[in-house]
Amino acid sequence: MDEYKEPVLELEHVKIQFGKRTILDDVNVSINEGEFIAILGPNGAGKSTLLKLLLGLIKPRAGIVRVLGRPPRRGNSDIGYAPQHRVLEADLALRARDVVGFGLDGHRWGIGIPNHKHRASIDAILREVDATAFANAPVGQLSGGEQQRLLIAQALLSNPRLLLLDEPLANLDIIHEQEIVTLVQHICRSRNVAVMLVSHDINPLLPVVDRVLYLANGQSTIGTIDEVITSATLSKLYGSQVEVVQALDRLFVVGAET
């Protein structure tokens, strides 16, 4: 089929501006189906803003954006989205299963009569993210890692071709961080869905990502880890001297706020 040969996502000379402040300029990115992309960069570099652009929540000042060959639009079920800073702590009045169910039909009008098919889709997705054990617990009682599984499950219910995850590893301890990375990698490969994962640290993602989109100083660059996370590339991107240090199979960017 022709439509699957074209990239899942294409950005050409995209510029994002808020008022007079330029957030990103001249972004050129093409992402294929099934690719695992990490989006990195310092705070305020425009990582979350870029995701909002793909969701059709903001418009580019210049350039072309195509998601599966079409301009971005709200309510696109080809995109699964899990934003950051979700406050689920206080929500005792909702079960894990209900949170996931929003991804299936939360946007439809009416009360939604529960039926077998509805239940079966939610059960299947809960199994896929290994969340069956706490499916009926109130979300406010779940750990950060467990909540993150639910949010990923919710984003997957529309069978998206592109999965946008904003800081899913934030505030997780190291074991849960690794669990989520493994889960996202599994989803990416088994569903052949393109994943764009925003993170502040590349290290947990080193073994799994195909390419890295690095945003800094209003500029961007995309490539493999070996191409992008180098002293030369990042110094050029930041416009100042930046050193990439390798130690104990980990990468550290020194001289820049990451």
Partner 1 sequence: MFDILQYQFIQNAFMAGTCVAIVAAVMGYFLIVRGLTFAGHALPNIGFAGAAGAVLLGVDPVIGLLAFTISAAIAIGILGKNLRDRDVVVGIIMTFALGLGILFLSLYSGYAERVYSILFGQIVGISQQNVLFTATTSLLTLVVLLIIYRPLLFSSFDPEVAEARGVPINVLGVAFLVLVAITVSIAVQIVGALLFFTLLIGPAATSVRIVQRPLWAIVLAVFLGIGYIWLGIFFAANGNWPVSFYIATISFAVYLPVRLLSPLWIGHRARKNISTGKETDQTSVPGREIEQVDVVQTHGRVSGITR
DSSP 159-185: --SEEEEESTTTT--HHHHHHHHHHHH
Binding status of residue 98 toward partner 1 by CB under 8 A: yes
CB 207 within 8 A of CB 153: no
Sheet bearing 21-31, strands edge to edge: 21-31, 9-18, 62-67
Here's the x/- map for partner 1, 118-157, by CB under 8 A: it reads as ------------xxxxx-xxx--xxx--x-------xx--
Binding status of residue 254 toward partner 1 by CB under 8 A: yes
Among 44, 102, 127, 232, binds partner 1 (CB under 8 A): 102
Query: Judged by CB, which is closer to partner 1: 13, or 119?
Result: 119
Minimum CB separation of residue 47 from partner 1 in Å reads 15
Runs of H (alpha helix) within the chain? 47-54, 96-105, 116-128, 144-156, 174-191, 225-228, 231-238
DSSP 198-216: E-S-SGGGTTT-SEEEEEE
Binding status of residue 187 toward partner 1 by CB under 8 A: no
Q: Residue 59 CA to chain centroid, in angstroms?
A: 19
| Structure-token pair, residue 72 | 């971005």
Query: Judged by CB, which is closer to partner 1: 194, or 222?
Result: 194
- Amino acid at residue number 84: Q
Interface positions, 21-60, toward partner 1 (CB under 8 A) = 55, 57
Q: How many C-alpha atoms does 59 have within 13 Å on its Cβ side? A: 3
Among 44, 69, 71, 106, binds partner 1 (CB under 8 A): 106
Among 120, 124, 232, 245, binds partner 1 (CB under 8 A): 245
Q: How many CB atoms are closer than 10 A to CB 211?
A: 17
Binding status of residue 116 toward partner 1 by CB under 8 A: no
Pairwise CA distance, residues 121 & 126, whole Å:
9
Q: How many C-alpha atoms does 135 have within 13 Å on its Cβ side? A: 17
Binding status of residue 190 toward partner 1 by CB under 8 A: no
Pairwise CA distance, residues 70 & 65, whole Å:
8
Here's the x/- map for partner 1, 66-85, by CB under 8 A: it reads as --------xxxx-x-xxx--
Among 171, 203, 224, 240, binds partner 1 (CB under 8 A): 203
* Tokens 């599984």 belong to residue: 149
Query: Judged by CB, which is closer to partner 1: 68, or 82?
Result: 82
Query: Judged by CB, which is closer to partner 1: 82, or 188?
Result: 82
Minimum CB separation of residue 192 from partner 1 in Å reads 22
Binding status of residue 171 toward partner 1 by CB under 8 A: no
In the complex, the residues that contact partner 1 under the rule CB under 8 A are 55, 57, 74-77, 79, 81-83, 86, 91-95, 98-99, 102-103, 105-112, 130-134, 136-138, 141-143, 146, 154-155, 174-175, 177-179, 182, 203, 245, 247-250, 252, 254
